[in-house]
Structure 1
Amino acid sequence: MTRLAWSEVPRPQMDRFADVALAESSALAHEILRAIRQEFPELRLVEGESGEPKALVGIRRAIEGFVHHLASGAGAADPRVPSEVFQEFGRGEGLNGRSLDSLQAVYRLGVRLAWRRFAEIGQQVDIAAPAMYELAESGFKYLDGLVEQSVRGYAEAAARQEGERLRLQRRLIDRLLSGPHPDPAQALGERAARIGWELPATVAVGLLIRPAREAVAPALGRGILLDMESEQPRLVIPDPDTAGRVDHVRHATAGWSGAIGPTVPLASAVASLRWAETAVTLTEEGLLPHGEVQHCTDRMEELLLLPSRDLVDAAAARCLTPLNGVAPAQARRLADTLLAWIETSGGAPEVAHRLGIHPQTARYRLRQIRELWGDALDDPDRRFELLLVLRSKRLRATPPTDAVHPGSTVRAARS
C-alpha cells in the first residue's frame, strides 16, 4: 500500500507547522474575512452571542479544525468539517432568498487565501513539496465538505420555508372558499400578500382524486394555488381564461382524475368549488370518466341532469306514462325516436339519419309516438320536460321504461 507523503513528514516538523498555523489562525481568519468583504460587499454579516461576526468564527474554526486534523496523525486525507457552523451558513443563504453560488465563491476565496499562507508556513518549517501538494489536495476536499454541509443547511431552510408557504397557502384557500366575499381585497389581501399571490379578477376551483395515496403533486407552478393536504387536493386557478393556462393545467394534471369548476369572480370562488364537487362525485360514481380532469363547462348536461336523479325519475313516472303498456324493448326504441325527434325538430328523414334507421321505420315509430302522446307533443313545456327526462335516462344508460308501473299490461307493438 502506497504511503502518503504527509505521513512521512517528521513529527517535529508537523508540530511546528501546526503551532505556527494555530497561532496565526485568528489573524488569518480576519485577513480572509476582510478579503471576502472587499470581494463581496453585499454579503450580510450576522453577529453571534460573542459579538463577533459568525462568519469570522466559522473561518477560524475551519482553519483550526483543518490544522488539528493534520497534527493528529490522521494524515492529509478526508479532513473533518465543522458541520454545524457551515450548515448554519447554508440555512442563512436559504432564509435570505440567495443562491448557494455566492456562498461557494466565498468558500473558494477563503480556501485559496488559507492555502497561500499554509504554503508559506510549510516552506518555513521545511516540509517537502510532495507533502504540501497533498495538503493542497486535502484543502480542496475540505472545500467540498464545507459546501456539502452548507447545501444541507440550505436544503433544510428551503424545506422549512416551503412548508411555511404551503401552510399559508392552505389558509388562504380555506379563507377564499369560505365565501362568498363581498370585498375580496379586505378578506384575502393580507393572506395573499404573505405568499406573494396577486389577487386575480376571476378564478376556477378544482378538486382532484388521488391516483395513489402517495401521489406526487402536479407541477402547477406557483401562480396556481394547490392544497395537497386535503383528502381531495384542491387547486385555485387565477384568471383561468388567460391564454395557455387551460393547456398548462391539463398537462400538469395528466394521469389524475378530478374536475375544475367554471370561471367565476374571485368573490364567488365557492360557487366554482360546488360544481367541481358535483363533478367529482359523479366521477366517483362512475358517471363521468376517470383518468382525466374534467372541466365542468364541458359537462353541463351531466352536471345539470345526473345529480337530479330523484326528481327526474319522479317526472319520468308521469311524463312517460304512455309507455306503461309497451314491451320494454319497443319502449326503448320509441323513447330513442322521441328524443331524436325533439332534438332535431325535424321529420322522419332527420330522425332516421340521427338514429341510423330506415326513414320508413322512423315514420312508423313517429306515428306510434303521436298516438301515445297525442296533443301533448304540441306543448313546448311538455316537449322540454320530455327532453330533460330522456336525456337524463340516456346519460345513465338505463331504459326509460324503469318508470313503467309494475303490473301494467303489455301492449303489442310492431317494430
Structure 2
Amino acid sequence: MSVRTDPAPAAALRSASVWSTVSAADTERFISLASTEIPTLSLEVMQQIHAQFPQVVEIFDDHGVSGVLTRIRLALGPFVESVRAAGGPKIAGDGAVRFREAAASLDRCETLPGPALDFMRAVYRFGARVSWRRLTEIADGVGIPPAAMYELAEAGFDYIEALVGEATRDQLSNESLAAGERLRRQCRLVGLLLADQPADLEATAQYAANIGWRLPETVAVAVLNRNENMLLPPALGTGILLDWESEQPRLVVPGSAQAGRADALRQALPGWSGALGPTVPLAQAARSLHWAQTAVGLIAAGALPSRGVLDCAEHTTALLLLPPAELIDDLAAGCLAPLAACRPGQADRLADTLLAWLQTRGGAAEVAARIGVHPQTVRYRMRQLRELWGDALDDHDQRFALELVLRARKLQSPPSPGRPSHDLVTGRQVGVG
C-alpha cells in the first residue's frame, strides 16, 4: 500500500531555513558574541592573510589604519548580521553592496595587486576559513545546530562571490577613469608638441615627465581616419602618444626612422587607415603633422592607397607633385599646349612616349621596352613630338618642366567609371559619358 505525499509541503520543508528552528534568544546571543569578537578576529585574519599571501600590499588610510583590516571588519559585519534575515542568511546582494559603499569611504583601500580576479577570490576564501573556525566555536558554545552553520557557510560562499564581483566592478570603473585621464593628459601634451608656435621646451618636458613620457630627440606624427566601427581608442605601446579628442586622431611616435616601424604601427592599428609623417626633430613635429595631413587628404581624394596606415617616406614623389594641383595645372596648360590639337587618345600616347624618353633619354629600343610598343612606333611618335615642340625638346629647362608635369599627371589616380577624369593639357575635369 502506497502513501500519497503532497509535494507542496515537501518542497516548503526543503527550502525552509534551519535558522528558523533556532530560538530568537540563541540567535541574538550568537550575533552579540560574534560581533564582539569582530575586532580581534579581524586582526587575526589580517595577520594570517599577510603570512599566506605576502604579495598583498598593505596601505594605510590617513589615520594610520590598515586598509586590509578595515575591509575585513566591513566584510564580517553584514555576514554575522545576516542570520537575522527572514528565510535564512542571504547576503550576497545587499550585504556586498553595503560593503562596497562602506569601503568606498576609504581614501586609499586598493590593497590587492592588480586586477587578478582569481587571486582576489583566493584571499577572500582564505579569510573566510580563518573566520569560520572562530565563528563555529562561538556557535558551539551557544548551541547553534551544525546544520544552521552549514547554511551560513553556503551563504558565505555566495557572499564572497558578490564581494569579488563588487570589487571587480569598482576596479574596472577606476581603471576606466584612470585611462580617460591618461588620454586627456596625452591629448594636452600632443597639443603642446604640435602647436604652430611650440610651447616652452622646459615646461613641455616637465608636463611630459608628469605623465611618464620622456621627450625624444626625433618623432614622427601619424593622422588616422575615424570610421563608424572605431569607437574605442586603439591599444598602442606606452611610448606612443595619442590625441583621441581630435576629429582625426593624432599619434606622436618617438624615435628615429627604423626599418619596419611603419609595419609595426600598421599591425598595432588593424582596421585603421591614415598616414605616418616623416621623422623629424622634436621641435619640428608640426612639419611631420603637415605631411601626414597632406597624405590623408590625398588618400581621401583617391590619389594614394587607402588601405592601412600609409608611410609618407614611401610616397615622397607623390607628396611633392600632387598637392600643388593648381600650379601643376597652370604649368601643364603652357607646357602641353602643343598636344591640344591632337585627338585625346593620340595625345595620351604621345605623352606616354615623351615621358619615357625624358626619363631614359635612351634610344627607340629602350623607350619602346618601357612603354611596351615596337621601336618603330617610338620613332614615328618621336618625329611627331619633334614637329610639335621643335627645338624646345633640347632645352634643359623645358625638358624639366615637361617631365615634372607628365610625372604629376601620371601620379593622378586613373579615372574610374562614373567619375570625372582630367584633361591632359588643361588639367580641368572632364565629364564621363
TM-score, length basis structure 1: 0.87
| Equivalent in the alignment of 2:102 | 85
Tell me the amino acid that sits aligned with residue 38 of structure 2: S
Within-5 A mapping of 1:3-402: 3-4=15-16, 6-11=18-23, 12-36=25-49, 40=54, 42-47=57-62, 53=66, 55-79=68-92, 80-81=95-96, 82-87=99-104, 92-93=109-110, 98-100=114-116, 104=121, 106-179=123-196, 181=198, 184=201, 186-212=202-228, 214-239=230-255, 241-242=257-258, 244-396=260-412, 397=414, 398-402=422-426
Root-mean-square deviation (Å): 2.8
Q: How many residues align?
A: 400
Tell me the amino acid that sits aligned with residue 33 of structure 2: V
Over 3 Å counting, the alpha-carbon distance change for 1:127 and 1:46 in structure 2 is same
d(CA) in 1 for partners of 2:366 and 2:108? Answer: 73
Residue identity (%): 45
The secondary structure found in structure 1 opposite 2:191 is: helix
The secondary structure found in structure 2 opposite 1:232 is: coil
Gaps of 5+ in 2: 1-10, 415-421, 429-433
Following superposition, the deviation at residue 100 of structure 1 comes to 4.9
d(CA) in 2 for partners of 1:243 and 1:87? Answer: 49
Over 3 Å counting, the alpha-carbon distance change for 1:201 and 1:331 in structure 2 is same
Gaps of 5+ in 1: 405-415
- Are the aligned partners of 1:180 and 1:269 in contact in 2 as well (CA < 8 Å)? no
Q: What are the superposed Cα offsets for residues 330-356 of structure 1, whole Å, 9 maximum, x if unpaired?
A: 112111110111112212111111111
Q: What are the superposed Cα offsets for residues 261-319 of structure 1, whole Å, 9 maximum, x if unpaired?
A: 01111111110000011111111222223232211111112211111111111111111
- Are the aligned partners of 1:28 and 1:114 in contact in 2 as well (CA < 8 Å)? yes
Q: What are the superposed Cα offsets for residues 191-218 of structure 1, whole Å, 9 maximum, x if unpaired?
A: 2112211222211101111122753332
d(CA) in 2 for partners of 1:253 and 1:100? Answer: 27
Tell me the amino acid that sits aligned with residue 221 of structure 1: G
Following superposition, the deviation at residue 390 of structure 1 comes to 0.8
The secondary structure found in structure 2 opposite 1:331 is: helix
Q: What are the superposed Cα offsets for residues 38-66 of structure 1, whole Å, 9 maximum, x if unpaired?
A: 66584112146xx7555544433322211
d(CA) in 2 for partners of 1:86 and 1:195? Answer: 28
Tell me the amino acid that sits aligned with residue 21 of structure 1: A
Over 3 Å counting, the alpha-carbon distance change for 1:282 and 1:88 in structure 2 is farther
Tell me the amino acid that sits aligned with residue 61 of structure 2: V
Q: What are the superposed Cα offsets for residues 98-134 of structure 1, whole Å, 9 maximum, x if unpaired?
A: 5556755553443222111111112112223232222
TM-score, length basis structure 2: 0.84
Over 3 Å counting, the alpha-carbon distance change for 1:189 and 1:338 in structure 2 is same
- Are the aligned partners of 2:224 and 2:250 in contact in 1 as well (CA < 8 Å)? yes
The secondary structure found in structure 2 opposite 1:21 is: helix
d(CA) in 1 for partners of 2:192 and 2:144? Answer: 70
Q: Which moved more, 1:196-205 or 1:24-33?
A: 24-33
The secondary structure found in structure 2 opposite 1:196 is: coil
Tell me the amino acid that sits aligned with residue 424 of structure 2: P
d(CA) in 2 for partners of 1:246 and 1:26? Answer: 60
